[in-house]
Amino acid sequence: MTTKIGKLAFWLVAIPAMALSWTGSARAQVEIEYWQYTFAQRVQAIDELIKRFEAANPGIKVKHTHIPYDDFRVKIAAAIPAGQGPDVVQLFYGWLQDYLKAGLLQPLPASEFSVVEIEREYFPIVQQMKVDGKYYALPTAVRSLALFWNKALFKEAGLNPDRPPATLDELVDYAKKLTKRNANGDLVQAGLTIDMGGQDHHWLREVLIRQFGGAPYSADKKTVTYNSSAGVNATQWYIDLAAKQKVGQIGFLTDGVTAFRSGKAGMTIDGSFRLGALDSQKGLDYGVAELPAHNGIKSNFASYWVNGITTKATGSKRDAAVKFLQFITTPEAMELWMNTVGELPARKSVAEKDANKNHAKYGPFIRGLTYSYATDFVNESAQRKVLIDMVDTVVLKTVPTKDAVAQAAAEEQKLLDAFYKK
């Protein structure tokens, strides 16, 4: 009886294994794995790129695995040290340090990925992927922030629907005209969404603080520097949008995206990844503009996902992985990615083609990239929470802005210290 079961178990394992190896050897000499998180358009874009790559490289087969976002990091962390999982992997730029510490990535070979060429070709934010003179990962696409405005509401408020505000002063002025309250003074339409839980914390951190003459972090990124008059003034200006200018309300219609999508907010600040959702909203006629300038300063926040080669890939698999990474960072791949996913090309030459740079919706994001900053997050969600709590402390606990900013800076410094001393 035991031998029977043993035999059965053997065949149960052996048959699929043989089938797999047979199809593998029949169709390609080398098979590499590519992993990213599940997101319909990203999956579609990579599937199409793999099809083209395999057609051009008959000896290589790429297996595409996508994993729900919530499990993504856990699965990669478990798989690679065990010698399984991806040869080429997609990761958020802010995770690089963690991945390097855990020994999950190998440097990109300088012969195929020249440092000089990368720095000439890519937007400067990508330089964060360089550690000790070596690049560890490259993006296909990048994203930035822009101002979205509702053209119908502009018309209704007597504003020119084709002329968005260019400065912060204009922003406040327009927002006032776009704000509507009922007889009781209750807000029924916001001029501008005020939502730190959305993209506003990036706007405050990398844009407003700089426009008020400060900087969020020191040049070596290890010290929080917004506990300054610039930091306090920027924060006060942001809080005054609701408190003094009364052009919006924190939590209005639960969040900024909902308010803008439902046509109950004149303007909002959001990322390029929102274009798809807004385009699918029937009856919403909106425009996209570069973030308003202040004191002659323009700034933006950019972020991106990168592709790296894992330490699992060796020998012929590594060579195949290098080829695949080269392929998905070609100008052709970047254009495909933009048109499928809605994210912006990471190579300046592609992004700044006239057709892209002057595109009605991608254009403002691309122009914003040239003067953007990618925050060196050590723990994005914790650092985001520090700023959300900073604003809430002033608004809900009537703590003076100066004290709340100082408290937030100290709190965030602790996070940086904990990370860099490791």
Query: Where does this chain bind other proteins (CB under 8 A)?
Result: 1, 70, 73-74, 76-77, 81, 98-99, 101-104, 182, 184, 186-188, 197, 249-255, 379, 381-382, 385, 388-389, 392-393, 396-397
**Closest distance to other proteins from the beta carbon of 401 (Å):** 15
**Closest distance to other proteins from the beta carbon of 396 (Å):** 5
Strand partners for 142: 304, 344
Q: How far apart are CA 269 and CA 40, in angstroms?
A: 24
Give 250 or 289: the residue with its C-beta nearer to other proteins: 250
* Secondary structure (3-state) at 288: strand
Helices (H) then strands (E): counts for the chain: 19, 14
Strand partners for 306: 91, 139
Kindly give the interhelix angle for 229-243 and 380-397, rounded to the nearest 10 degrees.
Answer: 60
Give 56 or 74: the residue with its C-beta nearer to other proteins: 74
How many residues are there in the chain? Answer: 422
**Closest distance to other proteins from the beta carbon of 311 (Å):** 12
**Closest distance to other proteins from the beta carbon of 164 (Å):** 27
Q: Which of the 8 DSSP states describes residue 108?
A: P
Question: Which of these, 113, 404, 27, 377, lies nearest to 232 by C-alpha position?
Answer: 404
**Closest distance to other proteins from the beta carbon of 60 (Å):** 28
**Closest distance to other proteins from the beta carbon of 260 (Å):** 15
Give 328 or 387: the residue with its C-beta nearer to other proteins: 387
Give the count of alpha carbons within 13 A of 205, CB side only: 29
Kindly give the interhelix angle for 40-56 and 315-328, rounded to the nearest 10 degrees.
Answer: 120
**Closest distance to other proteins from the beta carbon of 36 (Å):** 17
**Closest distance to other proteins from the beta carbon of 393 (Å):** 6
Give 280 or 381: the residue with its C-beta nearer to other proteins: 381
Count of C-beta atoms within a 10 Å radius of residue 57:
16
**Closest distance to other proteins from the beta carbon of 26 (Å):** 36
Q: How far apart are CA 390 and CA 215, in angstroms?
A: 17
371: Cβ–Cβ under 8 A, 6 or more apart, which residues? Answer: 298, 299, 300
Q: Which of the 8 DSSP states describes residue 297?
A: B
Question: Which of these, 403, 416, 388, 404, lies nearest to 201 by C-alpha position?
Answer: 388
Give 173 or 392: the residue with its C-beta nearer to other proteins: 392
Give 142 or 187: the residue with its C-beta nearer to other proteins: 187
Give 51 or 414: the residue with its C-beta nearer to other proteins: 414
Q: How far apart are CA 216 and CA 209, in angstroms?
A: 7
Give 91 or 341: the residue with its C-beta nearer to other proteins: 91
**Closest distance to other proteins from the beta carbon of 289 (Å):** 27
Give 166 or 415: the residue with its C-beta nearer to other proteins: 415
Contact 346, 54 (CB under 8 A): no
Give 201 or 317: the residue with its C-beta nearer to other proteins: 201
Per-residue tokens: 412: 């965030």
Q: How far apart are CA 286 and CA 148, in angstroms?
A: 7
Question: Which of these, 71, 102, 122, lies nearest to 374 by C-alpha position?
Answer: 122
